[in-house]
Structure 1
């Protein structure tokens, strides 16, 4: 999911029946899944038990090291944009899940020298035009 949890989500099968693409109505379960931030964390534990899942993987929030576990490692926020919007000093991460459902992460640190060089090149091109 992108955002967080929805009190309307009662089973994984509900996700399978969603027609795609969709512009979700507001308010709705889909808007919750896209944009909500899970709080309080006790709800995460209850949600995992209710759906019989071990881990929720979400995005939507910048985390400093590219990924961050919450709620006794029942939820992980995964963020894949290093140096987000040129305003954050965050890393990005990708998550790999093996056949035994073991999760591992590859962290991608921002390269400021390259970012600054590309920015300077872009500025000089726009001045030439």
Structure 2
């Protein structure tokens, strides 16, 4: 996923049937997959403060994983301080790979690797800063 889950998504064929490329209509499964976000204070679904899609609680993630027969949802779309962050009892992970995002955040980048036995591991990368050399005229 890029963003998150959709209340309309009940099987993988719904994703396979999305025609690409697209400018996703609002509302739609595609817009939710791009824009929805987990929220530790929410139970169920609520309107997203971004103005599009939803926020969802840990209960939604657990039900989604059972329905779709998966162990983990991997997503991006939100800055997390340490490069990756788990949610919903480790049923969802947010991975953000842009350190020092937009020059405004002091976040690390995260990279997730999945091995042949489906074990996930993470590398965390911090931005490094080099002094600027000024050329005198």
Give the structure-1-normalised TM-score: 0.86
What corresponds to 1:32 in structure 2? 32
Unaligned residue ranges in structure 1 (runs of 5+): none
Question: Which entry has the higher C-alpha Rg, 1 or 2?
Answer: 1
Larger helix proportion of the pair = 1
Query: Runs ≥4 in structure 1, deviation > 4 angstroms?
Result: none
Distance 2:99 2:108 in 1: 5
Unaligned residue ranges in structure 2 (runs of 5+): 39-55
Distance 2:28 2:84 in 1: 27
Report the aligned-residue RMSD: 1.6
Distance 1:40 1:96 in 2: 26
Query: Could you say what secondary structure the match of 2:122 adopts?
Result: strand
Larger strand proportion of the pair = 2
Does residue 98 of structure 2 align to residue 69 of structure 1?
Answer: no
